[in-house]
Amino acid sequence: MEISRRDLAARTSRWACLAKTSARALVVLVGVTGLMGCEGEVPVVAAGALRPPVMVESVVRRDVFDRIGATGQLIAKAEATVAAQVAGLVTEILAREGVAVTANEAMLVIDPERRQLEVDRSEAQLAEARAELSVASRNFGRTKRLSKGNVASEARLDEDRTRESMARSALTGAKARLGLARRALEDATVRAPFAGMIARRHVSVGEYLSVGSALFDLVALDPIEVEFTLAEIDSSKVGLGFPVEISLVPYPDEVFMATVSMVSPTIDPRTRTLRVKAELPNPNGRIRPGLFARVDLGVSERLGAIVVPADAVVQRADGSVVFRVGEAGRVERVRVDTRAHGDGWIEIRSGLEPNEQVVVRGQSRLDDGIAVTIRRSDGQLVREEKAVITAPTTPAPPATTATPATPTTSATATSTTSDDLGKGNAS
């Protein structure tokens, strides 16, 4: 069956129109799918939207004046609870609470008459022991001379020798008892072991005391000590004789100078701190034990120290961590050693270099190697890495080239297709 040239041209024109219409419909379908999304498909999203937003600041150098301080409390250099060394009745109290006493000053008396009687009895026993020793010595000498002339037996000689030895031992015992009695008489008068102030009295006149009963709390106030602790990192900055400044709450306008008198030889393994004591004069006794004290050990000056904002340092299980922004907008997890802390900044000992960028906001979602989007404090984008997304291509029909137009809306694309189809039918 022969086909005329005119019919062949009409059919060819209709096929070209249909191919063009199909290409435009495919473009409309892809556009609608990209805008609305279909079940089971993943919408195409800009690369920057998948990156967590962060805020960054630069690592800088600045002069750091590190003031080393600590807190502690005042303690008495010498403090003791004076107790009774003899039993007996309190007959007299010579010192009052809150009054200063000197070393060896009498404070209380415990039944001295009884102790004096014991001394008298011990002296009499000593005299008796001396007399017995004298008699035993004479008898032993006489028996010894008689035994040389074979007048006295050996048994009698041994007996007198034993009596003389026992009398000598009895004399030694009497001397010891007399010494104890005299010591008890002396201890009946309780004296201050060191100069200080009586903080508390525990007994009253007429009270019977046993050995070891508490009598007074005595504290030495001049000089007085302040005890404080230093962090392990500052343990090398203090030594014996080092001057320190003390500030006390009751005297806010005064600064008291003290001198380090003791540095512990070990670091406390539980708190990683060093215990230190400093001594300061207190001639008028107005500084009292128990007061809270602020200790200032002076200033350590470091020029050109590396610092970062305090928000850049986060604490992790392995220590202090900073997220550094590297090439292609990816962050690097860096462990750093910190030093001094200031108002909104932290000194970095190692791990960072000047002019590097570190994250100060948004670290909670970061990990090593993650790409980020950098924004300013007002939320505006600073830098965003662009990504190229390549969609799969569909091969065009043979011998047909369609140039798809970009539709403004799906409705416009549909009307265009209807017109083309009408034209095709008319042809």
Question: What tens digit of pLDDT does each residue of 335-356 get?
Answer: 988 877 777 888 888 888 888 8
Using the 3D structure, point to which of 145, 179, 209 is the last residue of a domain: 209
Nearest-CA neighbor of 227 among 140, 306, 134, 292?
292
Looking at the domain assignment, is residue 121 inside a domain? yes
The residues near 304 (Cβ < 8 Å, ≥ 6 apart) are 61, 62, 63
Mean pLDDT of 167-176: 91
**Domain check: are 88 and 177 in the same one?**
yes
pLDDT more than 90, % of the chain: 26
Question: What tens digit of pLDDT does each residue of 95-117 get?
Answer: 888 888 999 999 999 999 888 99
Strand stretches in 264-390, DSSP E: 273-280, 292-309, 314-316, 319-325, 331-335, 337-341, 345-350, 357-361, 373-375, 381-383
pLDDT more than 70, % of the chain: 76
Question: What tens digit of pLDDT does each residue of 127-148 get?
Answer: 989 998 888 888 888 888 887 7
CA–CA dist 221, 199 (Å, integer):
11
How many helices (H) and strands (E) would you count in the chain? 4, 21
Helices 154-187, 112-148: axis angle to 10 degrees equals 160
What CATH number should be reported for the domain holding residue 353?
Answer: 2.40.420.20
Residue 49's pLDDT is 52
Residue 425's pLDDT is 39
In terms of Cβ atoms closer than 10 Å to its own Cβ (0-12, 13-18, 19+), residue 122 is: buried
Looking at the domain assignment, is residue 168 inside a domain? yes
Looking at the domain assignment, is residue 283 inside a domain? yes
**Domain check: are 93 and 178 in the same one?**
yes
Residue 412's pLDDT is 34
**Domain check: are 35 and 83 in the same one?**
no
Q: Under DSSP, is residue 361 helix (H, G, I), strand (E, B) or coil?
A: strand
**Domain check: are 83 and 153 in the same one?**
yes
**Domain check: are 32 and 113 in the same one?**
no
Looking at the domain assignment, is residue 215 inside a domain? no
Looking at the domain assignment, is residue 262 inside a domain? yes
Helices 5-36, 410-426: axis angle to 10 degrees equals 170
Q: How many Cβ atoms are within 10 Å of 154's Cβ, its own excluded?
A: 9
Flag the least confident range among 231-245, 349-363, 376-390: 376-390
CA–CA dist 139, 163 (Å, integer):
9
DSSP string, 36-100: H--TT-PPP--GGGGSPEEEEEE-EEEEEEEEEEEEEEEEEEEEEEEE-SS-EEEEEE---TT-E
Mean pLDDT of 270-276: 91
**Domain check: are 194 and 92 in the same one?**
yes
Using the 3D structure, point to which of 183, 209, 235 is the last residue of a domain: 209
pLDDT of residue 176 exceeding 90:
yes
**Domain check: are 346 and 312 in the same one?**
yes
pLDDT of residue 32 exceeding 50:
no
pLDDT band of 164, cuts 50, 70, 90: confident
Residue 6's pLDDT is 57
Q: How many Cβ atoms are within 10 Å of 153's Cβ, its own excluded?
A: 12
Q: Which amino acid appears at position 85 of this protein? A: Q
Mean pLDDT of 199-211: 91
Paired sense of beta strands 331-335 and 319-325, if any: antiparallel
Residue 376's pLDDT is 66
The H or E element containing residue 169 is: helix 154-187
Mean pLDDT of 163-173: 90
DSSP3 helix / strand / coil % (the chain, rounded to 5)? 35, 35, 30
Q: Are 335 and 320 in contact (CB under 8 A)?
A: yes
CA–CA dist 321, 324 (Å, integer):
10
Looking at the domain assignment, is residue 230 inside a domain? yes
pTM here is 0.50
Nearest-CA neighbor of 196 among 82, 72, 73?
82
CA–CA dist 27, 135 (Å, integer):
143
Higher pLDDT, residue 375 or 48: 375
**Domain check: are 322 and 296 in the same one?**
no
Q: Are 309 and 62 in contact (CB under 8 A)?
A: no
Mean pLDDT of 115-124: 91
Length of the chain: 427
Residue 22's pLDDT is 52
**Domain check: are 235 and 307 in the same one?**
no
Count: domains in the chain? 4
Using the 3D structure, point to which of 302, 332, 352 is the last residue of a domain: 302
Q: Which two tokens stand for residue 122?
A: 């011990």
Looking at the domain assignment, is residue 265 inside a domain? yes
**Domain check: are 123 and 195 in the same one?**
yes
**Domain check: are 325 and 372 in the same one?**
yes
Looking at the domain assignment, is residue 264 inside a domain? yes
CA–CA dist 258, 222 (Å, integer):
12
Flag the least confident range among 258-262, 354-358, 407-411: 407-411
Question: What tens digit of pLDDT does each residue of 364-388 get?
Answer: 888 888 888 887 666 667 654 433 3
Question: What tens digit of pLDDT does each residue of 11-22 get?
Answer: 656 655 555 555
Domain that holds residue 295: 222-302
**Domain check: are 329 and 422 in the same one?**
no
